[in-house]
Amino acid sequence: MIHDKTPLPDLKDWRFSIDVENIAWAIFDREGESVNSLGRRPLEELDAIVAKTEELARDGAVKGLVLMSGKDNFIAGADIREFEEFDTEEKVKEVLSPPLELLDRIEKLRVPVVAAIHGYCLGGGLELVLACDWRIADREEGTRLGFPEVKLGIFPGLNGTIRSIRQAGPLNAMTAMLTAKFYRPTAARAIGLVDQLVPTHHGLRWAARKAVLKKRHSKGAGWLQRMMQMSPIRGYLAGQMRKKTKAKVREDHYPAPFRLIDLFEQYGGDLKEMKSEETEAFAPLMVSDTSRNLRRVFKLSEMLKAEAPKQEKGMDAFRPLRVHVIGAGTMGADIAAWCVVSGMQASLQDLSEEQLEKGLARGQKLFKKRLRSKRDQDAAKARLVADPHGKHLPRADVVIEAIVEKLDVKQSLFKDIEEKLKPGAVLATNTSSLKLEDIAEGLKDPGRLIGLHFFNPVPQLPLVEVVRGEQSREDEVRKACLFVTAINKMPLIVRSVPGFLVNRVLAPYMMESVAQFESGQPREKIDQAAEKFGMPMGPLELMDMVGLDICDHVGKTLGLAPEGENTLSRLVKEGKLGKKTGEGFYVWKDGKPLREEAEYEPEELDRLAAELIKPLLDEAERARDDHVVESGDLVDAGVIFGTGFAPFRGGPLHYRETQNAQDSAVAA
Ligand code: NAI
């Protein structure tokens, strides 16, 4: 029974109880939400719970407090929906003040506070548990701990910077914050973010009870780790971190990790001082355009996931397990290997044995990179088979064609395989530029064909366009989306128009880069300009990666190629197709383009980038007006996730709006 000097308010997001052993249990289960996140109300309620525990502890009526989750995840982070109210640095500091105090009070409670973690414990959730005396996590597959903040253009702002350093030492803690890596329970335990592990969530309550009764209190990082906070080691470490971070991101595009390193370098020797400086350094990041735009990107990804058709219970549930990919070239091999990484079985068909061998070898490279244990890698290897004669085709749940981009060849292939498919199997083409309706022409059941348009490189780009042809049946589109979700990609349903969404928007930008090259701009300068704008790679390098034959075809299909020859078609004629043949705009060696060293004035690069990007922005507006996808937000989502378009700029339409607003502000 809870006695009532300070009655608890009516709790909506937490359940609070005290058991017969006088242990207080606070179970976080946010009302009306499938995932726990820290928003204003849950924090206010936790504040009341902590106040109540304080009062009871003073009277000797509780021995400790355990924080747990009533859902499958622990706490996925702060509730970023509430970030929108942060319009000034003062407002950020004002809003942060109560939770900062709350975490201090948790830390100072006279009885032990134990966090029992099952599922995702990220961002603000991890900051909260770091204020507890003892952290226990289960070893289950879905349990992960980490600080994803830098991906949102900020760093931990609830004193997670200092508490993680105190627990894990500066090297481990800074690495966790700078890389945004999600740690498995064993790894989190190894670096000190967690104090104790139990095999499954069933063991959490018992372990937490014991930790309270034994008054467990974490000792934090060992002396060797603590030494690293001292000067001059700290300065050296900061220098190394800066170098590593610079190799990954540009400071002008992504300032958050650099501000975090500055904070550590300046104040990391005295965690008390670092604590008060954390908010000072955090607030300007939170109100920056970069963070706003990265939050927008996060929301767009959530929107794509939320809008994807869901599995329906009952008879027509579609659970794809076997995939058959025809064409083991640049795309097909990677698509098959990616499906295997996602747990499926894949068979890979090609006319050329050499291509099949290369395809399997690429798969193994990917398994090594993506799968941790040798056992998982071997199992994956066994799930990917070469199938030159298509023996596995009749058993496949999903069949994806990724052969040469020639209509007659694709038509005859589809005619040939239609009869062999099992009922209910998804039939898809990965075509970039051919009309779905034309490919489906010879089919007995053209309603079956849909497009599954993957992007190159498949393992890195999270989007797949699901193309709804004029004839495609809605149920096939739904099943295709389920398949895309099952391989951990984001499906974007697009209309069957030339170039669909992503290539339609990307092609004018690529053609502009060819035109700039022809007008005498060096290829290195063109690519540098685009990278300075924030593209993951320059357009000429990208075209070489994709294959110049494919790009030429897309340009022609979209009516963007000039009359007669241009550099692109000339290179294709000469058999210089880019990376796959060893030469295109660049000569390629060991998988990398050979570049000439050159430096250009930043202003010149900015001017050139603006010229390169303009056709992309124009086309994004036209695609929105033509309803290629259902909304402007989906245009931005598609272009960001399908091309890597500078995420910190929030998407092409958003960027243009921002530019227009800035221009009119200047004019006024
Ligand atoms: P690729 O030229 O690298 O590979 C095509 C493969 O298909 C070759 O291994 C070839 O031997 C094989 N092949 C040709 N005819 C065949 C047949 N009748 N049966 C079995 N195998 C056959 O081509 P890539 O780049 O992989 O493109 C494949 C498809 O994916 C094309 O439709 C292309 O438009 C599309 N695509 C390509 C992207 C890229 O970045 N390369 C991106 C997205 C889509």
Q: What is the pLDDT of residues 598-630, one digit of tens each?
A: 899 999 999 999 999 999 999 999 999 999 999
Q: How far is the CA of 620 from the centre of ligand 1 (A)?
A: 27
Mutate to test the pocket of ligand 1, among 404, 458, 554 (most ligand atoms within 8 A of CB): 404
State what percent of residues in the chain have pLDDT above 70: 98
pLDDT at 329 > cutoff 50 = yes
Find the mean pLDDT for residues 451-477.
95
Q: Whose CA is nearest to atom 20 of ligand 1?
A: 350
| CA–CA separation, 500 and 220 (whole Å) | 54
Q: Nearest 5 degrees, angle CA 464-CA 571-CA 589? A: 75
Q: Whose CA is nearest to atom 23 of ligand 1?
A: 329
| CA–CA separation, 408 and 411 (whole Å) | 5
Q: Which ligand 1 atom is at minimum distance from the Cα of 429?
A: 32
Query: Model confidence at 257, in pLDDT bands (50, 70, 90)?
Result: very high
Long-range contacts of 163-166 (CB under 8 A, 24+ apart): 163/127, 163/130, 163/131, 164/126, 164/130, 164/193, 165/221, 165/229, 165/264, 165/268, 165/271, 165/274, 166/220, 166/221, 166/271
| CA-based nearest residue to 268, from 223, 224, 233 | 233
Tokens representing 431?
């075509």
Q: Whose CA is nearest to atom 41 of ligand 1?
A: 546
Specify the pLDDT at position 74.
98
Q: How far is the CA of 454 from the centre of ligand 1 (A)?
A: 12
Q: Which ligand 1 atom is at minimum distance from the Cα of 412?
A: 18
Q: Which residues contact 19 (CB under 8 A, 6 or more apart)?
A: 25
Query: Which residues is 119 bridged to in the sheet?
Result: none
Mutate to test the pocket of ligand 1, among 550, 557, 577 (most ligand atoms within 8 A of CB): 550
Residue ranges in 249-288 assigned as alpha helix (H)? 256-267, 271-286
Find the mean pLDDT for residues 561-566.
85
| CA–CA separation, 173 and 177 (whole Å) | 6
Q: Whose CA is nearest to atom 9 of ligand 1?
A: 329
Q: Whose CA is nearest to atom 16 of ligand 1?
A: 403
Is the CB of residue 119 less than 8 Å from the CB of residue 74? yes
Q: How far is the CA of 307 from the centre of ligand 1 (A)?
A: 30
Q: How far is the CA of 404 from the centre of ligand 1 (A)?
A: 4
| CA–CA separation, 506 and 521 (whole Å) | 20
Q: Which ligand 1 atom is at minimum distance from the Cα of 433?
A: 34
> Ligand 1 — pocket residues by CB below 6 A?
326-332, 349-352, 355, 402-405, 409, 413, 430-432, 453-454, 456, 546-547, 550
Find the mean pLDDT for residues 125-154.
97
Q: What type of residue sits at position 463?
A: L
Q: How far is the CA of 556 from the centre of ligand 1 (A)?
A: 18
| DSSP conformation letters of 86-150 | --SHHHHHHHHHHHHHHHHHHHH-SS-EEEEE-SEEETHHHHHHHTSSEEEEE--TT-EEE--GG
Q: Whose CA is nearest to atom 29 of ligand 1?
A: 402
| CA–CA separation, 69 and 33 (whole Å) | 13
Find the mean pLDDT for residues 522-542.
96
Mutate to test the pocket of ligand 1, among 324, 325, 326, 331 (most ligand atoms within 8 A of CB): 331
Q: How far is the CA of 581 from the centre of ligand 1 (A)?
A: 14
- What is the radius of gyration, based on Cα positions, of the chain? 27
Specify the pLDDT at position 313.
59
| CA–CA separation, 382 and 558 (whole Å) | 41
Mutate to test the pocket of ligand 1, among 403, 454, 502 (most ligand atoms within 8 A of CB): 403
Query: Model confidence at 557, in pLDDT bands (50, 70, 90)?
Result: confident
Specify the pLDDT at position 314.
55
Q: How many CB atoms lie within 10 A of CB 141?
A: 8
Q: Whose CA is nearest to atom 8 of ligand 1?
A: 329
Roughly how many angstroms between the first and final C-alpha of the chain, as a whole number?
65
Q: What is the pLDDT of residues 87-113, one digit of tens each?
A: 899 999 999 999 999 999 999 999 999
Mutate to test the pocket of ligand 1, among 330, 355, 460, 552 (most ligand atoms within 8 A of CB): 330
Tokens representing 115?
């966090």
Could you tell me how many residues make up the chain?
Answer: 668
pLDDT at 55 > cutoff 60 = yes
Q: Which ligand 1 atom is at minimum distance from the Cα of 359?
A: 9
Q: How far is the CA of 590 from the centre of ligand 1 (A)?
A: 22
Q: Which residues contact 182 (CB under 8 A, 6 or more apart)?
A: 120, 122, 144, 145, 146, 148
Is the CB of residue 135 less than 8 Å from the CB of residue 115? yes
Please state whether beta strands 182-183 and 144-146 pair in parallel, antiparallel, or not at all (unpaired). antiparallel
Q: Which ligand 1 atom is at minimum distance from the Cα of 432?
A: 34
| CA–CA separation, 631 and 239 (whole Å) | 44
Q: Whose CA is nearest to atom 40 of ligand 1?
A: 546
From its phi and psi, is residue 246 left (phi > 0), alpha (psi between -120 and 50) or beta?
A: alpha
Q: How far is the CA of 333 from the centre of ligand 1 (A)?
A: 9
Place of tokens 């971190």: 241
pLDDT at 412 > cutoff 80 = yes
Find the mean pLDDT for residues 657-666.
88
3-state secondary structure of 286: helix
Mutate to test the pocket of ligand 1, among 352, 387, 432 (most ligand atoms within 8 A of CB): 432
Q: How far is the CA of 332 from the centre of ligand 1 (A)?
A: 7
Q: What is the pLDDT of residues 345-391, one digit of tens each?
A: 999 999 999 999 999 999 999 999 999 899 999 999 999 999 999 99
Mean pLDDT of the chain: 94
Is the CB of residue 132 less than 8 Å from the CB of residue 166? no
Q: Whose CA is nearest to atom 13 of ligand 1?
A: 403
Tokens representing 149?
């903040």
pLDDT at 443 > cutoff 90 = yes
* Sheet architecture: strand order including 384-386: 384-386, 345-349, 322-326, 398-401, 426-429, 449-453, 463-468, 490-495
Q: Which ligand 1 atom is at minimum distance from the Cα of 409?
A: 18
Find the mean pLDDT for residues 253-279.
96
Q: Which ligand 1 atom is at minimum distance from the Cα of 349?
A: 20
| CA-based nearest residue to 151, from 186, 177, 185 | 177
Place of tokens 């080691």: 233
Specify the pLDDT at position 668.
75
Q: How far is the CA of 405 from the centre of ligand 1 (A)?
A: 6
Query: Which residues is 467 bridged to in the sheet?
Result: 451, 494
Prediction pTM value: 0.88
Q: Which ligand 1 atom is at minimum distance from the Cα of 410?
A: 18
Q: How far is the CA of 431 from the centre of ligand 1 (A)?
A: 8
Q: How far is the CA of 331 from the centre of ligand 1 (A)?
A: 6
DSSP state of 583: B
Residues taking part in catalysis: 432, 453, 465, 503
Q: How many CB atoms lie within 10 A of CB 598?
A: 10
pLDDT at 1 > cutoff 50 = no
Q: Which ligand 1 atom is at minimum distance from the Cα of 333?
A: 26
Question: What sign does the CA torsion over 504, 505, 508, 512 have?
Answer: negative
Tokens representing 307?
């809008």
Is the CB of residue 308 less than 8 Å from the CB of residue 464? no
